[in-house]
Structure 1
C-alpha cells in the first residue's frame, strides 16, 4: 500500500486519537483522586460508609466496563420518571463510565499500597512525635504512592487500550476511523496503523511513568 494512502487515512485516525487522548486525560485526572477517596471510605471507622464503598468497588470491578458504558448511555434514559433527565452526551457518558470504573480499580491499588506499609512506620512516626496528619502526609502517603505506582502505571496503560470501547457507544475515536477505512477500502492497513498509534501512546505513557518512578526512588 502506498505512502500516499497511509497519509490519507492517517489524518482522520489522528483526529480520532485526539478523542482517545482526551478521554484518557479526563478519566485519569478524576479517577485517581476518586479512587483514593474510596480507599479512605473503605478504611473508615463508619461501618455503613465502609460497606457502601466496598459494595461499590465490588460491583464496578465485577461487571464489564462495556456493560457499564451501555447502561449509562442507553439504560439510564430508560429509567421511569427520572430517565428523561439522565440523557447525556455520548462522550460525557463515556467519561463518566470510565471514571466510575477505574476509580474502583485505583481504590484497590491504593488499599494494597497502604496494606504493604510496615506497621513499624506508624510506630516510628509516633515515637518521633508526629501527629496523625503529619504521619499521614509525610510518612504514609508518600510510601503508599511509591508502592502503588507500578500498578497505577499498568492500569493507566490498560485505560489507554480500553478507550477503544468508545466505539461501542458511537463516539468517533481512533478505532472507529480505522474500521471505517477498512470497510471502505477492503484492506487491513488501517488496523495496522491504528495498532501502531496505540503502541506509540502506550510507549509514551510507559516512559512517563518510568520517569516518575525514578524520581520517587531517589527522593
Structure 2
C-alpha cells in the first residue's frame, strides 16, 4: 500500500478526531459554566447533585464512560443503540464539562469579593457585576488551566476507538494488523502538528488577554 494511500486514509480518520474535538469544546464549555454555577448554588440539593456529577465524571475512566454511553441505551431498550460517533461526542462532552466546571468555579471564586462589593456600592446589578467585573478576570485566570485541558482533549479523542469509532488510531491499528507498523508512528505526527497549532492559538489568546495582571 502506497504512502499516499495511507496518508489519505489516515487523514479521513483524523477528521473525525477534529470533529470530536470541536463538538466537545463547543458544547462542554457552556455546559461546564452552567455546572459550575450549580456547584456554587445556595440551593443545597442542586449543589450536591452537581458536585456528585463532577465527582463521578472525574473519578471514573473516560473509556468506561464511553462504554456506558454507547452500550447502556441498548441494554435499557434493546435494538436502540446510539451511533458510535454520537455516543463518543456525548461521553466526551459530559466528561470535559465536569473538568471545565471546576476550572470555571476556581476562576470565579478567585476574584476578590471586595470587587463585587464595590460594584454593589456603585449601584450595579448582579448581572452587570458579573459581566463587567468578574467575567473579564475569570477569563484571564482560566486560560492557562483551560489550555492544558484543551491540549489533553486533542490526545483523548483517540480513546473513541474503544467503541470502534474510525478515528486515526483505529485506522493505524488496522494497518498494523496488516503488518504495517509505521502508520502507528505516523499517526503521532498528526497529533504533534494539530497540538502545535492549538498551543500556538492558546499562546496568542493569552497575550491578547494580558490587559491586566491578576
Interval containing the TM-score (normalised by the shorter chain): over 0.9
Output the CA distance in 2 between the equivalents of 1:187 and 1:15.
18
For residues 100 and 128 of structure 2, the distance between their equivalents in structure 1, rounded to whole angstroms, comes to 24
2:123 is aligned with 1:126:
no
Q: Secondary structure at the match of 1:217?
A: coil
Distance 2:78 2:206 in 1: 46
1:86 Cα shift?
A: 5.2
Match of 1:62 in 2: 59
For residues 23-77 of structure 1, give each alpha carbon's deviation from its aligned partner in whole angstroms, at most 9, with x where no partner exists: 1100110000000000011111211111110111111111111000001111331
Residue 98 of structure 1 corresponds to 92
Provide the rounded CA distance (Å) in 2 between the counterparts of 1:152 and 1:169.
Answer: 27
Equivalences for residues 25-64 of structure 1 within 5 A: 25-64=22-61
* TM-aligned CA distance change 1:140 to 1:11, over 3 Å: same
**Helix, strand or coil for the counterpart of 1:66?**
helix
Q: Indicate how the Cα distance of structure 1 residues 20 and 36 shifts in structure 2: closer, same or farther if over 3 A, else same.
A: same
Q: Gaps spanning 5+ residues in structure 2: where?
A: none
2:69 matched to which residue of 1? 72
Q: Which runs of 4+ in 1 moved over 4 A?
A: none
By how many angstroms is 1:87 displaced? 2.0
Q: Matched residue of 1:171: which SS?
A: coil
- 1:126, CA displacement in angstroms? 2.3
Query: How many residues get paired?
Result: 212
2:182 corresponds to 1:189: yes
Q: Which residue pairs with 2:167 in the alignment? A: 173
Matched, 1:117 2:111: yes
Q: Which residue of 2 aligns with 1:136?
A: 130
Paired with 2:171 and 2:96, the residues of 1 have a C-alpha distance of 25
2:191 to 180, 190, 198: 198
Between the aligned partners of 1:144 and 1:36, the Cα distance in structure 2 is 11
